[in-house]
Amino acid sequence: MPEQAADLRLPVVLIGPMGSGKSRVGKQLAKRLGLPFVDTDSVVSGEHGAIARIFEQHGEPHFRALERAAVAAALEQPAIVSLGGGAVLDEDTQRELADARVVLLTVTEEAVLARANLDKRPLLRDDPGAWSRIAAARRPVYERLADVTFDTSHRPISGIVDELVAWVKEPA
């Protein structure tokens, strides 16, 4: 049964590296709070095709422009929003996140590799060290933007969601 979401400060935005559980946690949190869930990577791929194909055919700058538009639209909604791992690198997105409640989900490389479907994560399959390099480079941005941090490496998602529900309901 959904919790009461009427007086919550929204959106609640999940950030973190690939494989940290943003989509899984976000879906469950949204369900518990009776709110919509928006995954900006899913929005981009739903409107423009597979992200890997966008990168391959049009390059990263084109993908980032599409991502930026999806993020801007998502942040206007009273929702639980999951951002792609690199979305926080955009300066406009960083400014807009100041008005949201931002949750950083962290995870160890070992946990990512253990849970990843390598067919859907070609970066992990083709260059396992890339995840660590990218996560380390983005960590300072994630930490600066986050209001709260949860590590998802070895905890059940349901426990993390329980704690997030309590945190979201705290006065901002």
What are 89-147's pLDDT values in tens digits? Answer: 999 999 999 999 999 999 998 898 777 655 555 555 677 688 889 999 999 999 999 99
In a domain, 55, yes or no: yes
In a domain, 89, yes or no: yes
Q: What are phi and psi of 117, to 5 degrees?
A: -90, 100
Q: Is 144 annotated as a binding residue?
A: no
What are 18-75's pLDDT values in tens digits? Answer: 889 999 999 999 999 999 999 999 999 999 998 888 888 998 899 999 999 999 999 9
Task: Kindly report the CATH number assigned to the domain that includes residue 102.
Answer: 3.40.50.300
Q: Is 139 annotated as a binding residue?
A: no
pTM of this structure:
0.91
Residues 6+ apart with CB under 8 A from 2: 31, 32, 33, 34
- H or E element, residue 2: none
- Parent domain of 156: 12-169
Q: Is 32 annotated as a binding residue?
A: no
Q: Is 158 annotated as a binding residue?
A: no
**Using an 8 Å Cβ cutoff, are 25 and 105 in contact?**
yes
How far is the C-alpha of 14 from the C-alpha of 75, rounded, in Å?
11
- Cβ burial 62-71 (10 Å sphere, 16+ → b, else e): ebbebbbebb
Q: Is 86 annotated as a binding residue?
A: no
Instruction: Please tell me the total count of domains within the chain.
Output: 1
